[in-house]
Amino acid sequence: MAVEHVLLAEPRGFCAGVEMAIKALTWMIRAFDEPVYCYHEIVHNKIVVERFEAQGVIFVDSIDEVPEGAPIMLSAHGSAPEVTQQAENVGGYTVDAVCPLVTKVHHEVKTRTKQGYQIVYVGHAGHEEAVGTIAVAPEAMHRVENPEEVAELNDLGEKVALLAQTTLSHRDWEGVTDAAQERWPDLWSPGRSDLCFATTNRQSALLALVDHCDSVIVIGSTNSSNTKALVKLAEQANGPNVIWINRAEELPEDLSGTVGVTAGASAPEETVEAVLKTLNPSKGVSIVKHTEEDEYFPPPRNLRELLSAIRFFSGFGFAGPSPTGHLNDRSIDAAKALQSLSTD
């Protein structure tokens, strides 16, 4: 491998929603005896999932798989209302780690359907976020992925709204938006796009470096929608020299010249560091910074209350698990929390 220079995108890796979800599940396994159950993968990254599985977390695709009384966490992608209700009925303690940006879309679905709208929803078939969002009001939802599918929709009347899966690429969103606006001139859409700011920032950071690279490496798992959007964007801009990996061990041996590196919103920084070490560029690493991200999403309220109660009773000598450290969650980095699990 003869890599001369690496251009490293910033921002990259964990977004605020992923940070929140990973730290929340880490708190859960500190607070409860094994096993803790999680409905769907907490985030779409194999390394993260494997790390939690090693700590006794059991990931399930149905609440029916959860024994009555067991602690349950619902994933960051959002869950159907009936799934949330079933988890609360079955679980001894249920924590919903849904990203607040996904919750916002769920709220928009409820609001628009109550006002009599039919909703054109831009989302990927089978993706957990899309499935959970559509389940909020299935009778009013019409999922599409491209402008051609917009044209194939039946007449939806005069009151039509446009909403989207948060992890789409801007190009996917804009193409469907133009087609929907042309078909329904009075189309309602949010004042601000439903697209996640972190998804948008990572795409913009990638575009800032891609034209200066001989190859581009995108780090993330194959079931990650936002990572897939990064790969698609890089391929459109940089042709065939795009390598999609989940681990540093998957890097090809024939890389050379200038290599761009970015990571999807659920990819751990430890993987980025391993990739940079393997590339070992002779002329070093340059950061290509698009913007500063300082957004913070606190853990779900009931989990915060539980942890505070545990600390309170532990202080009086009651037996039971006690989270390590303090509850100043904002000062805790999810990457470090994740790495700590491998040393427990």
d(CA 323, CA 307): 7
Helices (H) and strands (E) counted in the chain, each on its own, are 12, 12
101: tokens are 């940006």
Residue 269: per-residue pLDDT: 96
Query: How do residues 312-331 score in pLDDT, each as one tens digit?
Result: 545 433 334 444 444 577 87
Domains located in the chain, CATH noted: 2-14+197-289 (3.40.1010.20), 16-98+296-341 (3.40.50.11270), 101-183 (3.40.1010.20)
Is 148 considered catalytic here? no
Helix segments in the chain, DSSP class H: 16-31, 46-53, 81-90, 100-114, 128-134, 147-152, 170-183, 197-210, 225-238, 269-279, 301-315, 334-341
Provide mean pLDDT across the span 86-115: 96
Residue 41: per-residue pLDDT: 96
In this predicted structure, which of 42-46, 174-178, 218-222 has the lowest mean pLDDT?
174-178
The two most distant CA atoms of the chain are separated, in Å, by: 67
d(CA 225, CA 196): 12
48 with 25: CB under 8 angstroms?
Answer: no
Query: How do residues 132-174 score in pLDDT, each as one tens digit?
Result: 999 999 999 999 999 999 999 999 999 999 999 999 888 788 8
d(CA 215, CA 95): 41
Give the model's confidence band at 263: pLDDT under 50 very low, under 70 low, under 90 confident, else very high. Answer: very high
Residue 293: per-residue pLDDT: 93
Residue 333: per-residue pLDDT: 86
256 with 2: CB under 8 angstroms?
Answer: yes
Q: In the predicted model, is pLDDT for residue 64 greater than 90? A: yes
Quickly count: other Cβ atoms within 10 Å of residue 64's Cβ: 8
d(CA 133, CA 135): 5
Residue indicated by tokens 């700011």: 197
Give the model's confidence band at 344: pLDDT under 50 very low, under 70 low, under 90 confident, else very high. Answer: low
Of 10, 19, 128, 129, which residue is the catalytic one? 129
Residue 323: per-residue pLDDT: 47
d(CA 44, CA 75): 10
What CA dihedral angle connects 261, 264, 265 and 266, to 10 degrees?
Answer: -110
Q: Identify residue 102 by its one-letter amino acid code.
A: V
Q: In the predicted model, is pLDDT for residue 54 greater than 90? A: yes
Q: Identify residue 225 by its one-letter amino acid code.
A: S
75 with 42: CB under 8 angstroms?
Answer: yes
341 with 56: CB under 8 angstroms?
Answer: no
134 with 141: CB under 8 angstroms?
Answer: yes
CA 169 to chain centre: 13
195 with 104: CB under 8 angstroms?
Answer: no
Provide mean pLDDT across the span 297-320: 68
Per the model's pLDDT, the better-predicted residue between 133 and 294 turns out to be 133
> Percentage of the chain with pLDDT > 70?
93
Give the model's confidence band at 194: pLDDT under 50 very low, under 70 low, under 90 confident, else very high. Answer: confident
Provide mean pLDDT across the span 91-109: 96
Residue 32: per-residue pLDDT: 92
Task: Read off the DSSP letter of residue 311.
Answer: H
Q: In the predicted model, is pLDDT for residue 184 greater than 60? A: yes
Q: 135, 185, 130: which is closest to 163 by C-alpha?
A: 130
One DSSP character per residue, 3-44 reads: EEEEEEEES-S--HHHHHHHHHHHHHHHHSPSPPEEES-SSS
Provide mean pLDDT across the span 287-295: 95
Helix segments in 136-256, DSSP class H: 147-152, 170-183, 197-210, 225-238
Residue 312: per-residue pLDDT: 52
74 with 300: CB under 8 angstroms?
Answer: no
In this predicted structure, which of 6-15, 48-57, 73-82, 317-326 has the lowest mean pLDDT?
317-326
Q: In the predicted model, is pLDDT for residue 88 greater than 80? A: yes
Residue 342: per-residue pLDDT: 72
Q: How many residues does the chain have?
A: 344
Q: Identify residue 301 by its one-letter amino acid code.
A: R
d(CA 232, CA 146): 14
Query: How do residues 224-256 score in pLDDT, each as one tens digit?
Result: 999 999 999 999 886 669 999 999 999 999 999
In this predicted structure, which of 260-264, 286-290, 314-318 has the lowest mean pLDDT?
314-318
- Report the chain's mean pLDDT, rounded to a whole number: 91
